[in-house]
Amino acid sequence: AQAGRRAGAGALDGLRTALSLAGSARGVGPLYDADEATRIDDALFAAALTPTLAAALHRLGQGLTPVAPRDDLPFAANYLYMVTGTEPTPVQVRAIERYLVCTVDHGFNASTFTARVIASTGADLVACVVGAIGALSGPLHGGAPSRALDTLDAIGSPERIDPWIREHVLAGDRIMGFGHPVYRTEDPRSRLLRGVAQEFGGELVSFATQVEQRVVELLAELKPGRELHTNVEFYAGVVMELCGLAREMFTPTFAVARTLGWTANILEQAADSKIIRPSARYVGPPAPRPVPAP
């Protein structure tokens, strides 16, 4: 599991490095100096290149030859094909399409806000996307789907659900795939992806739904009033695994979806020439001696 997480982080490292290089080679200039048509062209460039780079870097990391995109396949099918080297089934394509759509954007999450802050400085569009990928790489943001699936592996069987969850909650550990900084009820994206997973059926999906039900019940018991429910990451990992994606590709796949949302936010922010500059209030230790009055 740890190796998979390290590989996932490495995949994002490679993706942001390759995107930065590609932007430089293309000569992408500052948003501040670009007209609207140029900004849109740069956004399409970044959004189109991200899935191709993510898939190619993954295959190279596995010692495999990158697979070129095909003109006859739609976006989701093409992505799965470039990653796995095999044309996906219609069920897998439809599942990944729904995952990509429900994760394309989600308010001012950490990565989107990062992209908008960078865009507000007038920096180039690719720099904004690279910064967003850096924010997405954190385990509390885009790095969670593989960790949620690791939790299922660690529990292993239905009889271990209660003791495993109790032990980790009482130790102060976070149960990945549960709780959200905004939602105080079930994440609607989780409900959608649960339905997608159930269309596949099988042992993994059956176990995941058992774990979900007991974890929500146990969190309500052990952390009353916190309203900790399933979030999008829990079933995202299940769906991506059923579609044949390796765990190190879970977060890059999140980036593939979110790049479309990032670029839309970047274009919107670029239309406003005012820089994002939050105010701050110092709450640290007092000065060792009084500050002279002005």
Query: Dihedral angle at the C-alpha atoms of 63, 26, 103, 131, nearest 10 degrees?
Result: 90
**pLDDT class of 144 with cuts at 50, 70, 90:** low
Domains and CATH numbers, the chain: 2-138+247-270 (1.10.580.10), 144-240 (1.10.230.10)
Mean pLDDT of the chain: 89
State the catalytic residue, choosing from 212, 233, 241, 248: 233
**Cβ atoms within 10 A of the Cβ of 105, count?**
15
Residue 88 near residue 80 (C-beta atoms within 8 A): yes
**pLDDT class of 10 with cuts at 50, 70, 90:** low
The DSSP code for 31 is G
Q: What is the pTM of this model?
A: 0.85
124 bridge partner residues: 30
State the catalytic residue, choosing from 58, 180, 241, 248: 180
Whether residue 186 lies in the annotated active site: no
Whether residue 180 lies in the annotated active site: yes
**Cβ atoms within 10 A of the Cβ of 225, count?**
6
pLDDT tens digits, one per residue of 43-95: 999 999 999 999 999 999 999 999 999 999 999 999 999 999 999 999 999 99
